[in-house]
């Protein structure tokens, strides 16, 4: 019978991605609930930096899948290599972060392994023996629960911030090299020059404090008051979509269904109405403070602290108070 939880770890220039750390955290929690071992797999030409990074985490084993054809990510390379690893260890669950890369190859991998994929899940619950997976549906308006049937390996991708990377458990993990049979002829795509769609000057997913601005700020010149507050708090500026569309801030600062999913310790929203497409990207924040002049603004439904008032009066005073407190 299939046994164990395998997390496929994604990396960027040999540094493990945050979404994979969150996936490992989720796997550790699932392991605690099911008593199953947790394995991690890293794929690269040289896996040493990632195995070193992961070896101090609570994992039963790290599989280092090193091959020159895995120097760059390709869907064929990852599918061929991982199908061999999965055949060898026969895990009950394969877990990945729901990244663009995972979207590209994991459904194909699941099919290759005779399993099924439940993608973009926000929670895994193994109470009572059966695994239930929760997904958001209708643009985050509802949550729906799903479960797998049959004996095949279950593939699960987890939405960014579904699990809190701060809760990752430390430990000591052994590393096993896994040699794959992978050749140039297995890979049908050619990797050209890499580029970033948006030049990022901030990684909001890693921010502890976000001061997010919305259309209530009225015009770009007023951004300054939010920036002052963000500076006083030591936070980063986030934004609703219209603010990014209007070019007040870069697209990498957009929070929501077509932007970033964030989970800072503090999310301070200024003049944001709380449309579902925005909320879906920030409702995992630990503490939400919302300032809006409309007492019925939907953002207040999820705010820990609701401040009804004019942001142009409140924010400068708040900034002064933060500076004074420091
Ligand atoms: C397919 C799709 C994807 C989308 N993706 C995203 C996404 O990723 N992220 C996103 O944010 N949106 C997204 N949207 C847009 C979303 O539906 C909303 O239109 C958007 O979030 C609204 O932005 P806002 O809250 O800044 O503006 P508004 O809805 O116009 O709200 C402005 C708020 O400011 C308040 N306000 C005004 N003046 C003041 C003041 N002086 N003091 C205090 N408060 C004030 C108002 O009461 C109001 O609540 C998407 C939409 C679609 C259709």
Look at residue 70 in the predicted model and tell me its pLDDT. 98
Q: Which residue has the tokens 């629960």?
A: 145
Distance, in Å, from the CA atom of 212 to the CA atom of 190, rounded to the nearest integer, reads 39
Look at residue 246 in the predicted model and tell me its pLDDT. 96
Residue bearing the CA closest to ligand 1, atom 38: 216
Distance, in Å, from the CA atom of 5 to the CA atom of 39, rounded to the nearest integer, reads 6
Q: Which atom of ligand 1 is nearest to the CA of 259?
A: 8
Distance, in Å, from the CA atom of 73 to the CA atom of 166, rounded to the nearest integer, reads 27
Q: Is the CB of 242 under 6 A from ligand 1?
A: yes
CA 35 to chain CA centroid, Å, is: 25
**pLDDT, tens digit, 9 for 90 and up, residues 289-302:** 999 999 999 999 99
Q: Is the CB of 273 under 6 A from ligand 1?
A: yes
Q: Is the CB of 222 under 6 A from ligand 1?
A: no
Distance, in Å, from the CA atom of 21 to the CA atom of 27, rounded to the nearest integer, reads 10
Question: Within 10 Å of residue 249's Cβ, how many Cβ atoms?
Answer: 20
Query: Average pLDDT in the 228-253 region?
Result: 96
Cα(309) to ligand 1 centroid in Å equals: 17
Cα–Cα distance list, 216 to 22, 45, 253, 280 (Å): 33, 49, 17, 19
Instruction: Supply the CATH classification number for the domain 204-325.
Output: 3.40.50.1220
Same fold, 5-186 and 204-325: yes
Q: Is the CB of 294 under 6 A from ligand 1?
A: yes
Look at residue 160 in the predicted model and tell me its pLDDT. 82
Residue 182 in 3-state DSSP?
coil
> Are 220 and 242 contacting, i.e. CB atoms less than 8 angstroms apart?
no
Look at residue 200 in the predicted model and tell me its pLDDT. 63
Residue 199 reports pLDDT greater than 60: no
Q: Work out whether the CA dihedral 297, 245, 205, 217 comes out positive or negative.
A: negative
Beta-bridge partners for 118: 156
Cα(256) to ligand 1 centroid in Å equals: 10
Which of 271, 283, 306 most suits a substitution to test ligand 1, by most atoms within 8 Å of the C-beta? 271
Q: Is the CB of 311 under 6 A from ligand 1?
A: yes
Cα–Cα distance list, 313 to 20, 36, 81, 219, 268 (Å): 42, 55, 58, 16, 16
Q: Which atom of ligand 1 is nearest to the CA of 257?
A: 8
**pLDDT, tens digit, 9 for 90 and up, residues 78-109:** 999 999 999 999 999 999 999 889 999 999 99
**pLDDT, tens digit, 9 for 90 and up, residues 17-36:** 888 999 999 999 999 999 99
Q: Work out whether the CA dihedral 83, 85, 88, 94 comes out positive or negative.
A: negative
Look at residue 288 in the predicted model and tell me its pLDDT. 97
259 vs 199, which has greater pLDDT? 259
Q: Which atom of ligand 1 is nearest to the CA of 214?
A: 26
Residue 198 reports pLDDT greater than 70: no
Look at residue 196 in the predicted model and tell me its pLDDT. 63
**Strand runs (DSSP E) across the chain, as ranges?**
5-9, 11-12, 15-16, 38-44, 61-66, 93-97, 116-125, 132-137, 142-146, 154-158, 175-177, 209-213, 236-239, 266-270, 287-292, 305-308
Distance, in Å, from the CA atom of 226 to the CA atom of 230, rounded to the nearest integer, reads 6
> Are 42 and 66 contacting, i.e. CB atoms less than 8 angstroms apart?
no
CB burial class (10 A; 0-12, 13-18, 19+) of residue 293? Answer: middle
Q: Which residue has the tokens 């986030």?
A: 238
Pick the CATH number of 5-186 from 1.20.120.140, 3.40.50.620, 3.40.50.1820, 3.90.1720.10: 3.40.50.620
Residue 307, both tokens? 């401040």
Domain residue limits, the chain: 5-186, 204-325
Q: If you count them, how many residues does the chain have?
A: 326
The rounded percent of the chain whose pLDDT value lies above 70 is 98
Residue bearing the CA closest to ligand 1, atom 4: 277
Residue 284 reports pLDDT greater than 90: no
* pTM of structure: 0.79
Q: Work out whether the CA dihedral 57, 61, 67, 73 comes out positive or negative.
A: negative
Look at residue 235 in the predicted model and tell me its pLDDT. 96
């Amino acid at each position: 019978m299939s046994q164990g939880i395998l997390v496929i770890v994604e990396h960027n220039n040999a540094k493990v991605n945050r979404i994979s750390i969150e996936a490992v955290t989720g796997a550790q929690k699932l392991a605690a609930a099911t008593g199953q071992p947790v394995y991690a797999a890293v794929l690269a030409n040289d896996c040493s930096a990632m195995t070193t990074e992961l070896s101090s985490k609570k994992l039963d084993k790290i599989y280092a899948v090193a091959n020159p054809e895995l120097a760059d990510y390709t869907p064929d390379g990852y599918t061929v290599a991982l199908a061999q690893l999965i055949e060898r260890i026969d895990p009950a669950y394969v877990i990945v972060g729901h990244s663009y890369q995972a979207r590209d190859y994991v459904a194909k991998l699941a099919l290759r392994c005779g399993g099924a994929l439940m993608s973009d899940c926000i929670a895994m619950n193994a109470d009572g023996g059966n695994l239930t997976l929760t997904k958001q549906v209708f643009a985050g308006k509802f949550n729906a629960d799903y479960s797998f049937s049959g004996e095949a390996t279950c593939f699960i991708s987890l939405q960014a911030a579904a699990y809190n990377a701060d809760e990752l458990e430390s430990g000591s993990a052994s590393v096993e090299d896994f040699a794959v049979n992978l050749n140039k002829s297995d890979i049908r795509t050619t990797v050209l020059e890499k580029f970033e769609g948006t030049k990022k000057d901030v990684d909001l997913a890693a921010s502890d404090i976000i001061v997010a601005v919305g259309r209530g700020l009225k015009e770009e010149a007023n951004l300054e008051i939010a920036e002052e507050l963000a500076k006083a708090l030591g936070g980063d500026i986030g934004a609703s979509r219209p603010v990014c569309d209007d070019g007040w801030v870069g697209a990498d600062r957009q929070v929501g269904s077509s932007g970033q999913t964030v989970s800072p310790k503090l999310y301070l929203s200024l003049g944001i109405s709380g449309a579902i497409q925005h909320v879906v990207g920030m409702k995992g924040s630990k503490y939400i403070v919302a300032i809006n002049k409309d007492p019925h603004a939907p953002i207040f439904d999820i705010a820990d602290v609701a401040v009804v008032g004019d942001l142009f009066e409140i924010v400068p005073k708040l900034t002064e108070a933060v500076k004074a407190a420091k």
